[in-house]
Amino acid sequence: MPVTIGLRNNIVVLSTEIYLQVQPSTGLPQYGLASTYGILLIVIVLLPLIYYQRIIGRSERYATVSGNAYRSRRIELSLRAKIAGLTFLGLYVLFEFILPTLILLYTSLHPFYSVPSWSGIANSGLDAYRTVMGSTLFTQSLTNTMVVAVVTGLATMTLAALVSWIIVRSKTSLRSVLDVLAFIPHAIPALVIGLAIAMIYLYVSIPVYGTIWIIVIALLTRYLSLATRQMNTGIGAIKQELEEAGTASGASAFQTFWRILVPLALPSYVNGFLLVALLSVKNLSIPLILGGANSSMLATLVWNRWDNGDTAETGALSIIMIVITLVLGALSFAAGRWTPGQRKSKRQRRSDDAPPPPADAAEEPQKALAAVAYQ
């Protein structure tokens, strides 16, 4: 964002300086100076991170859910509060999404940027879309983007599931350290992560530099913190007695994880996969630093067209990316509402007001199910 909007107006921040030093218009990249800016950024973001960890360490103060008989209480809003809330939400969606999308759509239909008008709408055309979709570079970028999104989503969520299992279920004293290490990439700017990954693989003799696989590695590092938070919640919501039932039936730790915990945590995994894939599609900073001639992504293709002053193709590519992200966003929303075996009929929803059953009575069938799952 700072590079896209601020660079042409000479508004430079630390992340912009890193990009300019790694991708100079003339001369050789200045990795040493870029690393210095990166260290400054890390120091700046680590201070709030330390404070965040101190707050999380006292999270029991903020607990609101307790006991098996706990039920959330709905707060009924007044008509005035509902109108105010809906008005604010409507204005946010209008200025944050609808108007920018309409401007991009209008721009994509004209060879040169012009002020939107009714006469301009009458003279619209699809030439930019034909040019973009007929380009070999677009096909390559679209393929790379889809491969990176799928592989990054699968790899990130699989690693996050293992890390979260250790954090939530393990008794080791190092689990808190692992939790902090998994969260740190969330506080580090994506541009700095891309720079760090680039410098590592410049010196390591693994032939991934300039390919889509180094982008996958960097995106995995970037979104691991988000994925672990997703899986921490999913695994933490599963009673440990279910795993103990599998262990009592003779299952090993891996078998318990794979055959009992993974199926039960599958909704969190699927939702996290779609979210990571969505973020990977729209990420610009990392592909901009690590992309090569054969590893172009849709986001970098949009940047290149914008940097060259081609507003029509920039708008067309942006609309295509918006469609892709909307599809992934809709799938993520649907996955968040889907939980196997927990869809409620109208009769079941009406029975939610009944007193909860005793904890032991509710858990015994699940324990038996866990034992059967292993056998």
pLDDT of residue 238: 78
| Same domain membership, residue 303 and residue 154 | yes
Domain final residue pick, 69, 97, 125: 125
Q: How confident is the model at residue 369 (pLDDT cuts 50, 70, 90)?
A: very low
Question: Do residues 230 and 108 share a domain?
Answer: no
Do 253 and 153 lie in a common domain?
Answer: yes
Q: How far apart are CA 15 and CA 37, in angstroms?
A: 8
Judgement on whether residues 199 and 95 belong to the same structural domain of the protein = no
Q: Does 11 fall in a domain?
A: no
Domain check: are 335 and 293 in the same one?
yes
Average pLDDT of every residue of the chain: 79
Q: Do 251 and 114 belong to one domain?
A: no
Looking at residues 253-265, what average pLDDT do you find? 78
Distance CA 110, CA 120 (A): 8
Residue 336: per-residue pLDDT: 64
pLDDT at 223: 93
Does 274 lie in the same domain as 142? yes
Higher-pLDDT residue of 6, 175? 175
pLDDT value at residue 372: 44
Query: Which of 91, 125, 159 is the last residue in one of the domains?
Result: 125
Query: CATH number for the domain including 245?
Result: 1.10.3720.10
Determine the pLDDT at residue 72: 64
370 against 82, higher pLDDT: 82
Q: Could you tell me if residue 291 is inside a domain?
A: yes
CB 311: neighbour CB atoms within 10 A? 19
State how many domains the chain has.
2
Euclidean distance between CA atoms 245 and 165, whole angstroms = 17
262 φ, ψ (degrees, to nearest 5):
-60, -50
Structural domain includes residue 274: yes
Q: Specify if 28 maps to a domain.
A: no
- pLDDT level of residue 66 (50, 70, 90 thresholds): very low
Residue 43 has pLDDT above 80, yes or no: yes
Residue 35 resides in a domain: no
Measure CA of the first residue to CA of the last residue in the chain; give whole Å: 53
Q: Does one domain contain both 202 and 148?
A: yes
Query: What are the tens digits of pLDDT across the range 169-212?
Result: 777 777 777 877 888 888 788 888 888 888 888 788 788 888 89
pLDDT of residue 255: 79
Give the integer Cα–Cα distance in Å for 226 and 57. Answer: 19
Q: Is the pLDDT of residue 164 over 50?
A: yes
Gap between the Cα atoms of 327 and 17, Å rounded? 34
Tell me, what's the pLDDT at 118?
78
Mean pLDDT of 361-375: 48
Under 8 Å between Cβ of 288 and 19: yes
* Alpha-carbon distances of 37 from 6, 13, 46, 123, 273, rounded to whole Å: 18, 10, 14, 47, 32
Using the Cα atoms of residue 51, residue 53, residue 58 and residue 63 in order, give the sign of their dihedral.
positive
Residue that finishes a domain, picked among 106, 125, 144: 125
- Name 153's Cβ contacts closer than 8 Å, sequence gap at least 6: 272, 273, 274, 276, 277, 280
188 in the same domain as 288: yes
CA 202, CA 214: separation in Å to the nearest integer?
A: 11
Kindly state whether residue 316 falls inside one of the protein's structural domains. yes
Q: Kindly state whether residue 357 falls inside one of the protein's structural domains.
A: no
Residue 105 sits in the same domain as residue 169: no
Domain, as residue range, for 219: 126-340+362-374
Domain shared by 134 and 120, yes or no: no
Positive or negative, the Cα torsion across 278, 280, 281, 283?
positive
Do 280 and 261 sit in the same domain of this protein? yes
Identify whether 243 is part of a domain: yes
Phi, psi of 76 (to 5 degrees): -80, 120
* 337, pLDDT greater than 50: yes
Q: Percent of the chain beyond pLDDT 90?
A: 22
pLDDT at res. 317: 92
H helix runs in the chain, sequence order:
14-22, 31-57, 79-93, 99-108, 118-122, 127-133, 136-169, 175-187, 190-203, 212-236, 240-248, 253-256, 262-264, 266-282, 285-290, 298-307, 311-337, 346-350, 359-374
Q: Does pLDDT of 62 surpass 60? A: no
Neighbours of 351 (CB within 10 A): 10
- pLDDT, residue 8, reads 66
Angle at the Cα of 1 (from 136 to 191), degrees rounded to 5?
Answer: 80
pLDDT in tens, 83-95: 999 999 999 999 9
Whether 108 and 312 have beta carbons less than 8 Å apart is answered as: yes
